[in-house]
Amino acid sequence: MKTLNEYLAMPYRMEIVEDREEGGFVVSFPELPGCITCGETLETAVANAQDAKKAWLEAAIADGVTIQEPDSLEKYSGQFKLRMPRSLHRALAEHSQQEGISMNQYCVYLLAKNDALHAG
């Protein structure tokens, strides 16, 4: 098991969600189950998250709980092959040409835009 400082130095992914009903922001660490906090402002929520992460890690170490390490992006190549109907291929090629960018850039834009819509 690693030390508290070793775990604190790891790049755990922080998720921040605006709480539109109550106000403020809710912050969690997906790799640290149950490690969640909030704050009235974004700055307060992030500061509270650092305190919550430290307290969560201290408790996990004291209790001998297995602590998951952060997911690494190194296992993702950033590439995948996609088959599509020719008509869609043509439409994407035409739209990307109208935008003055490559079809690859246009598809990344569309995927990112769609992912952002469904992330909240």
Domains of the chain plus CATH, in order, are 4-63 (3.30.160.250), 77-119 (1.10.1220)
Least confident span in 44-48, 63-67, 78-82, 95-99: 78-82
User: Distance between CA 52 and CA 30 in Å, rounded?
Assistant: 13
Q: Give the helix/strand (H/E) hosting 109.
A: helix 103-119
b/e sequence 11-35, b meaning 16+ C-beta within 10 Å: ebebeeeeeeeeeebbbbbeebeeb
pLDDT in tens, 84-102: 999 999 999 999 999 999 9
- pTM > 0.85: no
Confidence of residue 79 (pLDDT cuts 50, 70, 90): confident
Token pair listed for 41: 């402002």
